[in-house]
Amino acid sequence: MPYVRDSFWRGREWESEQAMQLGAIKWTLEVAGLRHHRSLEGASPLSVFAAVEQEALLPLPLQVFELAAWSRPKVGTDCHAKVGKVLYSVPWRYIGRHLDARQSDRTVEFFADDVIVKTWPRADRGKRTDFSDFPPEKIAFFMRTPVWCRRRASELGIFVEEVVATLLSDNALYHLRAAQGVVGLGDKYPKERLDAACRRALEVGDPSYRTVKGILSAGTEKEGTHEPSVPDAPAHLHGPESLFDHLNMEAFL
């Protein structure tokens, strides 16, 4: 309301916001807008508005105007860029680049060469990750969860299952890559060899991915395995005919 002055509000009480707006419009059209002003060379504000200003008005935007802050963060090797106090993921192909980031009350938008590449709902703190922003090999890593690793290990052998269970028994996410690596060896080696290598790694007390892989590369997965020997039967089980065959009977003659 450009023509509403302090004198309009002073000493008045309003029942609602709508009543206040209607009162201001009425005062503008019937009182303030009809006054003649020296600054307008004696013309009234309403006459100047109708003659000059009305045709220059633009329609209101479809969305309410909102303030926004711009920044230019760099995308890290983990596919995240920091805006405010929050890390947001962006597509992996922008790793190492500086992007234009627009932060409003509701959203955070990332632009590369004036083209929007990622939009996030605004957060106050923490980290926001969209796994589809990662390269294909990273997506595979995140999709192979500890549950998946355990299930796949059980298909490869009891010793593979034991190695994977050992790796994931403490701080599963930290050792997830190692467990995935052990299971992934099943795509390169026969599962019998992998299971034997895991058995060997458990025997030497180092059930790690590096050890299992080293055993397979060296082909030493069968070391430490001994075929049980069949003991000779006691002489008295050979029958009475050969009871004393092992003795030199001539010594008694």
Provide the pLDDT for residue 251. Answer: 46
pTM attached to this predicted model? 0.44
Q: For 156, left (φ over 0), alpha (ψ -120 to 50), or beta?
A: alpha
d(CA 204, CA 198) in angstroms, rounded, equals 10
The structural domains of the chain, with segments of one domain joined by +, span 6-56, 68-133, 144-218
Question: Which 8-state DSSP code applies to residue 38?
Answer: G
The neighbouring-strand residues paired with 121 are: 107
Using an 8 Å Cβ cutoff, are 81 and 88 in contact? yes
Q: For 103, left (φ over 0), alpha (ψ -120 to 50), or beta?
A: beta
Q: Please report, for residues 5, 148, 203, the alpha-carbon distance to residue 216 in angstroms, rounded to integers and kept in the order given.
A: 88, 23, 15
Provide the pLDDT for residue 55. Answer: 87
pLDDT averaged over consecutive 10-residue blocks of the chain (253 residues)? 58 84 86 84 87 87 87 95 96 96 95 96 93 80 82 94 93 86 93 95 93 93 63 50 51 44
Provide the pLDDT for residue 234. Answer: 52
